[in-house]
Chain A
Amino acid sequence: MEPTNIAAPEYFHKVVDCQWACPAHTPVPEYIRLIAAGRYTDAYMVNWKSNVFPGILGRTCDRPCEPACRRGRVEKEPVAICRLKRVAADNKQDIHNRLPVIPAQKNGKKIALIGAGPASLTVARDLAPLGYEIVMFDGDPKPGGMMRSQIPRFRLPEAVTDEECGYILDMGIETRFGTRINSLKQLLSEGFDAIFVGSGAPRGRELELPGRKEAGANIHIGIDWLSSVSFGHIDKIGKRVIVLGGGNTAMDCCRTSRRLGGESVKVIVRSGFEEMKASPWEKDDAMHEDIPILNMLVPTEFLHKNGKLTGVSFEKVKAVYDAKGKRSLVPTGEPNEIHECDDVLVAVGQENAFPWIERDIGMQFDRWDMPVVDETTFQSTIPTVFFGGDAAFGPKNIIWAVAHGQQAAISIDMFCQGEDVKKRPPPDVAIISQKMGIHEWSYDNDISNDLRYRVPHQEKALALADVRLEVELGFDKKIGYAEAERCLNCDVQTVFAPNLCIECDACVDICPMDCITFTPNAPEDELRLELKAPAKNRTQDIYVSSELKTGRIMAKDEDVCLHCGLCAERCPTGAWDMQKFLLDLTLAGPACHSK
C-alpha cells in the first residue's frame, strides 16, 4: 500500500465516525468533552454553530451519527450522542450575548425564503449576520415548519421550538407568516436578489382501496391529522385505531392516538418488522405504550357499514427470495385477516408538491416532476432560485434540512458577491498535540467501561394522559457526565512519525485492541488479513507508514482504535503522538470569497 496521506483533511475526518456521518459535520467529540467538563453553554454553542437547533435535535434527531459511532463496534451500543446534545441545551445559560451581531448597515442584497422550516431558518441564520436583508414567508402562522406542525409535542415541547426559532427571527428577519406563496413567477418579479425554496414535502400519500370514499369520515392522512392535533383542531379519536405504515410518521400517529382516547391502537405494516423505516428506538417507544406492531399484512379493503368504517381487511403475505437473494412478498393463500376499528390513520409516505411553481418560467423539472437541483450548490436551473430541505430531494429530516440550508446559504452568498458557486470553500482544519506530560493528555484517555445509559421516561400513565407532556425527561447532569465519558474521543488522532520509530514493539504490545502491526508491505487485500487482528471492516481505513529501518511498515487498523493514547504513552521516542483534529465546516461569509 501507499503511505497514507494524513495531510488530506478527509483522512482524519473519516476517523471521527460520528462527525463524518453527521450531515452538518458537527464536531461531536468536541462538544461531548465540553459536557463532561460541565461547560454546557460552550457545548451548546459548538452545536448551535454546526446544527442550529441543538435543543430540538437533542430530542428528535434521526442521529445518523449513532449507528456510525465507533463505540458501537467495540462494545454493544454507541454513545447516546443525540441525548447528550439535549444535556447541553437543558443546562446552558443565557446565550444571547454569544449570538452573532447583526450589522445595522445592510449589504444591499435582499433574499426571499419560502417556508419557515429548518432549512429556511438555517439560511436566515447564516445570511443575516452578513448584512443580507431577509424576508421569510410561510403559510403557517408560526415558524418551525414540520418541527412545529408534525412532530408531536410529547416528543418536542413547543417552548423549545419557540426558543430556537426565536434566536434566528431576532436577527432582524422580516417575517410574512400566514402568507402562502401561490406564484413563483410573481415572487421572481419582486426584485429579490435570490430566492430560497424551503417549502418541505407537505403532501401525505393516499391509499386508494375499496371503501376509501364510503368510510372516508374515519380515514385520515397521517401528517394532516398530526398537524391538526398540533394546532389543537383535533383532540380525540376512536377507541380502536389502526395505523397503516411503518415509518416514523406512523409511530407518531399511533402514540398520539394513545393519548387522544385510543385504547386499542395497532400498527400494521405490509413487510417485515425489521424492514420498517421507523427508527428502532421509535418502535421501542411505541411498543412500550402497548401498541402492537403486526407485520406481513397488506391492506386490501376498508370495510364499512351504513357509511361508517368498521375495519380493514388484510391479505397475509410471506417473504420469498429468488436465486439472487432478491425478496418479494407473495400471498400465503390463507384467508384474509380482518381487523376491526373505529379510525384508520394512513401513514404510507410523503411527497413533494409544487403547484405554485409555474412550469413556464424556465425552471427545469425532472421525470418525477421534481425541480432539477444541483446536489452541491442547491441551485436550480433558474440561477437566482435555490432549494433545500425536503423541497430539494424529497423528505429527509431536520439535520439534512440544516445541512442543505448551510450549503445553500454559501451558494447564495457567493452568487450575490459575484463568485462562482461551484468553487466550494474547504473546511477549516486544525491539528494540535494533546501531550501535556509523560502520561498527561489534555483529554481524558481513560476508557469508561459503562454501558449506554437509558434516558429516563415520564411515568406511563401520566404520559398517556396528556398529548403535550414530554415523555423523555433527559439525562440529568450526573448521568450526562457518565454517558459523555463513554465517548472515545475519536477526534484525538494517533499520528505516527516513521523517522522516530525504533521498532521496539512497545505500542504493539500495549494496544488493547490489537490495532498496530509492523509487517512487510503488501497490497491492501493481503495486508488486511496479515494484521495482528484481521481488518475485516472495509469501510475503515488502514493507516500505513512509509518504509521503516527494517524494511517493514507500520500498519494501523483504524476500525476499533479506542484513542486511549497508550501507544503514545508507551512509545520511547515519541513516534506516536495524540493530536486533536478539529474540523469546522466553513459557513457562508468572507471565508467563501476569493476577494
Chain B
Amino acid sequence: MTYIPKPKLHHPDLPKNKLGFTHRDYEGSVSTLCAGCGHDSISAAIIQACFELDLPPHRIAKMSGIGCSSKTPDYFLGNSHGFNSVHGRMPSVLTGANLANKDLIYLGVSGDGDSASIGFGQFAHSIRRGVNMVYIVENNGVYGLTKGQFSATSDKGSKSKYGALNSDSAIDMVAMALQLGATYVARGFSGDKEQLVPLIKAAINHHGAAFIDCLSPCVAFNNHIGSTKSFDYVREHNESVNKLDMMVDHDPIVADYAPGTMELVTQHDGSVLRLRKLAPHYDPNDRIAAMSYLGERAAQGEIVTGLLYVDPQGEDLHDYCNTIDKPLNELGTADLVPGQAALDKLNEDLR
C-alpha cells in the first residue's frame, strides 16, 4: 500500500495506441493491497491488454465480489464502468448487466474464495450459461482479505503460514470451467506477464464465456515454504503448454517454425490466435483430452499454464436466448410497451 498518489508524469517516449492513449491512461487509483501482491501484477496485465487492444475505456464494465482480488477493479481502468457486488455474487450481477447491455465488454474479477467457496454456484451457472465475459480468478489459495485462511483451491497437504496442514481436497477451477462448458479456458501466473497479457487479450476478443485462472501469490499469507501458491513453488512447477501471440489482423505468415509446432486459431470476431506449442502433443481444441492431461499433470504436482482450451466458434447467452441485436437497455417505450393490439395478438397466438 502506498500513501502518495502515483505521479502524473510519465516517460516522454511512451508509445500511444490507436486512440492516442498511453498505457498510463488505463490506470486506476493507487492500489491499497500489500506491497508485492500478485493481484497488482494482474491489474497491470489487464491495463496492458486493454491498451494494446486499443479499447475505449468507457466500453468496459468491471464487476467484482469481495476480497483483495475483488478490490482490484478500483486499481485499473479508472474511466470504465464498475460494480463491486456482495461476496460471491459477481457472476449474477454480471449476467444481469450483460443481458441488459450486450455491447459492453465484461470483465469479471474474482478470487478463489469469492468464486470457489461462497460464489461457487454463481460461478458455475454463469459459465454454463455462456455469458459473454472474461472471468478472471486471482487465485492465491487463501482468503487474503480476512488474513489468510485456506481457501477451497488450496492443495491438500499444503501448509499455512502458521504451520497448519490443509486436510480438504482442492477445487481445480480450470477443471470446473472445462467441465461446465467454458469456450475459452486458460491458466496464467501473475509473475509472468509475457504469458498473461496475450491470454487476457485473446479472452477479451473471445465470444462466449472465457475463464482465466491466474495464480497470484499472496505475499502476506501464502508465500512461504510449504505453500503451493508461492512465487518459488509456482515458478518451479509451472509447465507452460504453449505460448500465445494474438494478432488482430489476419496474418498467415508462420515462418521459421517446424511443422506441427505452430497453430493458428481464428476466433469468432476475426482475430487470429497464434499458438506456439511448447508441449508438442497438447491440443487446445480437444476439451476431453485437455481435461485428462490436466488431471494427470496435477496429480504429479505440476501446474499446467497457457491457453488450455478454446472453441473459436463459441456461442453466448444472447445467442441461446435469441435476443435482438440492439442492446435491451436501448429499447424505447414504443418497443417495450407495444400496446393493446400487440398484446391481444400475442394472447390470440397462445390460445
Which chain B residues numbered 188 to 228 have a C-beta less than 8 Å away from chain A? Answer: 190-191, 193, 217, 219, 223
Classify the interface of chain A: helix, strand, loop or mixed. Answer: loop
Q: Is B3 an interface residue (CB 8 A)?
A: yes
Let me know if B12 and A74 touch, CB within 8 A: yes
Let me know if A505 and B2 touch, CB within 8 A: no
Let me know if A445 and B36 touch, CB within 8 A: no
Q: Which residues of B contact A (CB under 8 A)?
A: 1-14, 24, 31, 34-38, 40-41, 43-44, 190-191, 193, 217, 219, 223, 231-232, 235
Q: Which residues of A contact B (CB under 8 A)?
A: 73-75, 438-439, 445-447, 449, 502-506, 508-510, 512-515, 533-534, 536, 549-550, 560, 562, 564, 566, 569-573
Classify the interface of chain B: helix, strand, loop or mixed. Answer: loop
A463 to B193, alpha carbons, bound, how many Å? 62
Q: In the complex, which of the residues A533, A550, A562, A571 contacts B35, with contact meaning CB atoms closer than 8 Å?
A: A571
A503 to B231, alpha carbons, bound, how many Å? 8
Let me know if B13 and A562 touch, CB within 8 A: no
Contacts of A74 in B (CB 8 A): 9, 12
Residue of B8, B36, B41 with most chain A CB atoms under a 10 A cut-off:
B36
Contacts of B41 in A (CB 8 A): 504-506, 509
Let me know if B4 and A566 touch, CB within 8 A: yes
B15 (CB) vs chain A CBs: closest residue: A533
Let me know if B4 and A514 touch, CB within 8 A: no
Let me know if A564 and B7 touch, CB within 8 A: yes
Let me know if B2 and A562 touch, CB within 8 A: no
A536 to B12, alpha carbons, bound, how many Å? 11
Let me know if B13 and A536 touch, CB within 8 A: yes
Q: In the complex, which of the residues A505, A512, A515 contacts B7, with contact meaning CB atoms closer than 8 Å?
A: A512
Q: In the complex, which of the residues B5, B13, B44, B219 contacts A572, with contact meaning CB atoms closer than 8 Å?
A: B219
Check A513/B191 contact, CB under 8 A, given A446-B4, A504-B41, A564-B4: no
Let me know if B2 and A569 touch, CB within 8 A: yes
Let me know if B35 and A73 touch, CB within 8 A: no
A503-B231, A510-B31, A533-B13 known; 20 other A-B pairs, CB under 8 Å?
A73-B12, A75-B9, A438-B1, A502-B36, A504-B36, A504-B231, A505-B41, A505-B191, A506-B37, A509-B44, A510-B40, A514-B11, A515-B11, A533-B11, A534-B13, A564-B7, A566-B4, A571-B35, A572-B36, A572-B219
A502 to B235, alpha carbons, bound, how many Å? 11
Closest 10 CB pairs of A and B: A572-B36, A447-B7, A509-B44, A533-B11, A504-B36, A446-B4, A572-B219, A439-B3, A506-B36, A572-B35
**Sampled A-B contacts (5; CB under 8 Å):** A447-B4, A505-B41, A508-B44, A509-B41, A570-B35
A566 to B193, alpha carbons, bound, how many Å? 20
Contacts of B43 in A (CB 8 A): 509
Let me know if B6 and A573 touch, CB within 8 A: no
B3 (CB) vs chain A CBs: closest residue: A439
A505 (CB) vs chain B CBs: closest residue: B41
Contacts of B8 in A (CB 8 A): 449, 512
A506 (CB) vs chain B CBs: closest residue: B36
A503 to B38, alpha carbons, bound, how many Å? 11
A515 (CB) vs chain B CBs: closest residue: B11
Q: In the complex, which of the residues A508, A513, A573 contacts B9, with contact meaning CB atoms closer than 8 Å?
A: A513
A449 to B3, alpha carbons, bound, how many Å? 17
Nearest-neighbour CB distance to chain A for B1, whole angstroms, equals 7
Q: In the complex, which of the residues A75, A439, A510 contacts B6, with contact meaning CB atoms closer than 8 Å?
A: A510
Let me know if B231 and A502 touch, CB within 8 A: yes
Let me know if B9 and A447 touch, CB within 8 A: yes
Residue of B6, B11, B37 with most chain A CB atoms under a 10 A cut-off:
B11
Nearest-neighbour CB distance to chain B for A55, whole angstroms, equals 33
Nearest-neighbour CB distance to chain B for A397, whole angstroms, equals 30
A550 to B232, alpha carbons, bound, how many Å? 10
Q: In the complex, which of the residues A506, A508, A510, A560 contacts B12, with contact meaning CB atoms closer than 8 Å?
A: A560
A449 to B36, alpha carbons, bound, how many Å? 27
A439 to B13, alpha carbons, bound, how many Å? 29
Q: In the complex, which of the residues B13, B24, B35 contacts A506, with contact meaning CB atoms closer than 8 Å?
A: B35
Let me know if B2 and A566 touch, CB within 8 A: yes
Let me know if A510 and B235 touch, CB within 8 A: no
Nearest-neighbour CB distance to chain B for A193, whole angstroms, equals 54
Nearest-neighbour CB distance to chain B for A303, whole angstroms, equals 51
A536 to B15, alpha carbons, bound, how many Å? 14
Contacts of A572 in B (CB 8 A): 34-37, 219
Let me know if A512 and B235 touch, CB within 8 A: no
Let me know if A504 and B191 touch, CB within 8 A: yes
Contacts of A534 in B (CB 8 A): 13
B7 (CB) vs chain A CBs: closest residue: A447
Nearest-neighbour CB distance to chain B for A335, whole angstroms, equals 47
Contacts of B219 in A (CB 8 A): 504, 572
Let me know if A503 and B4 touch, CB within 8 A: no
Let me know if B36 and A560 touch, CB within 8 A: no
Nearest-neighbour CB distance to chain A for B174, whole angstroms, equals 23
Let me know if B2 and A510 touch, CB within 8 A: yes
Nearest-neighbour CB distance to chain A for B236, whole angstroms, equals 10
A154 to B8, alpha carbons, bound, how many Å? 39
Let me know if B3 and A562 touch, CB within 8 A: no
